[in-house]
């Protein structure tokens, strides 16, 4: 092998070395920074990239995907001097590879320290009850503060979540007793309210019943008075008719009027509740005889003559006149 062949082989090897040194492949989700003699020049995107061999070099290899950073447990003193233990998780994403590579030396440590500090600051400004019930508000407040702090680093904080808040055991027991007492108080209030409502409804029902009963009595009294009025009107009409008959000299009307009232009087005497035994030495013939006597009186009063009638129930006289 002559010297020319050796030179060609060396040149070929150098060309391959230059090719491999100048061609860079960046995987998806990553960015590489390019440094020329130690100074940042540009950023390589995912795919095939070409740099100047032996002059440009790869500086930092950064993951541009969203990443998760665990926040360890830490002690926090609340506004009402309650000691709790809290931890969380932070989601962040690099937006500018150059800033993330050259604005801070340890990006993860910086994000972690900022998150822990602001968690203590936000939780320390709240009471324990607010701390346990307003976890979403705590997350949003910490997120705003940390995101504004890491903006110069080319990083975006997407989410910060508080995972666990652990009060001391004695405080948990006291909270349990407080919750039980509050629920007992609510139960007593609800029971009293139910009893009050039941009494109100019962009183309303009784009132409505009394109103309906009074209206019923009023309606019954009205109808009873109306019936008595009509009966009185009928009695007055009958009396008027009898009076007119008497004025005209109708003896039969007088007999009917007297007999009718006589029978009614007997009915009242017989139906009286304080009468147990009724003994009357009266006969139907005596009643008819009384009617005949009334007729005689009426005939004398009007000066008329009336034919003699045999009274029913009394046998004709068999005595002979002399």
The rounded Cα 317 to chain-centroid distance in angstroms is: 101
Residue 47 is predicted with a pLDDT of 93
Beta bridge partners of 69: 90
| Secondary structure of residue 95 in the 3-state scheme | coil
The rounded Cα 222 to chain-centroid distance in angstroms is: 48
96 pLDDT above the threshold of 60: yes
Rounded to the nearest 10 degrees, the angle between the axes of helix 135-150 and helix 107-124 is: 140
| Cα angle, residue 223 at apex, residues 222 and 225 outer, rounded to 5° | 65
Q: Which residue has the higher pLDDT, 35 or 238?
A: 35
CB atoms within 10 A of CB 100: 23
Q: Which residue has the higher pLDDT, 266 or 100?
A: 100
321 pLDDT above the threshold of 50: no
**Count of alpha carbons within 13 angstroms of residue 298, beta-carbon side:** 21
Mean pLDDT of 20-30: 89
User: pLDDT tens-digit profile of 110-165?
Assistant: 999 999 999 999 998 988 888 888 888 999 999 999 999 999 999 999 999 998 88
| Cα angle, residue 232 at apex, residues 228 and 238 outer, rounded to 5° | 145
198 pLDDT above the threshold of 80: yes
287 pLDDT above the threshold of 90: no
Q: Report the C-alpha gap between 322 and 122 in whole angstroms.
A: 149
Contact 25, 47 (CB under 8 A): yes
Indicate the helix (H) or strand (E) that contains 20: helix 3-22
Contact 67, 95 (CB under 8 A): no
CB atoms within 10 A of CB 33: 20
237 pLDDT above the threshold of 70: yes
Residue 9 is predicted with a pLDDT of 80
User: pLDDT tens-digit profile of 129-144?
Assistant: 888 888 889 999 999 9
């Amino acid at each position: 092998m002559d010297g020319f062949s050796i030179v060609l082989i060396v040149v070929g090897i150098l060309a391959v070395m230059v090719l491999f040194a100048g061609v860079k492949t960046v995987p998806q989700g990553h960015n590489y920074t390019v440094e020329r003699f130690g100074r940042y020049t540009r950023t390589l995107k995912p795919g095939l990239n070409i740099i100047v061999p032996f002059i440009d070099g790869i500086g930092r290899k950064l993951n541009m995907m969203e990443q998760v950073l665990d926040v360890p447990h830490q002690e926090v003193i609340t506004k009402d001097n309650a000691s709790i233990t809290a931890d969380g998780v932070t989601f962040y994403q690099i937006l500018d590879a150059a800033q993330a590579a050259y604005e801070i030396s340890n990006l993860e440590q910086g994000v972690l320290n900022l998150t822990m500090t602001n968690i203590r600051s936000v939780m320390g400004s709240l009471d324990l009850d607010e701390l346990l019930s307003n976890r979403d508000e705590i997350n949003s407040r910490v997120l705003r503060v940390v995101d504004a702090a890491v903006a110069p680093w080319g990083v975006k904080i997407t989410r910060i979540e508080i995972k666990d808040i652990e009060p001391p055991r004695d405080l948990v027991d006291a909270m349990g007793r407080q919750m039980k007492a509050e629920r007992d108080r609510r139960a007593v209030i609800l029971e009293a309210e139910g009893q009050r409502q039941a009494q109100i409804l019962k009183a309303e029902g009784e009132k409505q019943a009394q109103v309906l009963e009074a209206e019923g009595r009023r309606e019954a009294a009205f109808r009873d008075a109306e019936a008595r009025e009509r009966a009185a009107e009928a009695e007055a009409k009958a009396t008027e008719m009898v009076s007119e008959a008497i004025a005209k000299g109708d003896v039969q009307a007088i007999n009917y009027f007297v007999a009718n009232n006589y029978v009614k009087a007997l009915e009242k005497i017989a139906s009286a509740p304080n009468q147990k035994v009724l003994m009357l030495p009266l006969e139907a013939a005596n009643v008819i005889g009384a009617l005949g006597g009334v007729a005689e009186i009426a005939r004398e009063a009007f000066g008329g003559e009336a034919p003699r009638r045999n009274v029913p129930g009394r046998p004709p006289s068999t005595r002979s006149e002399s």
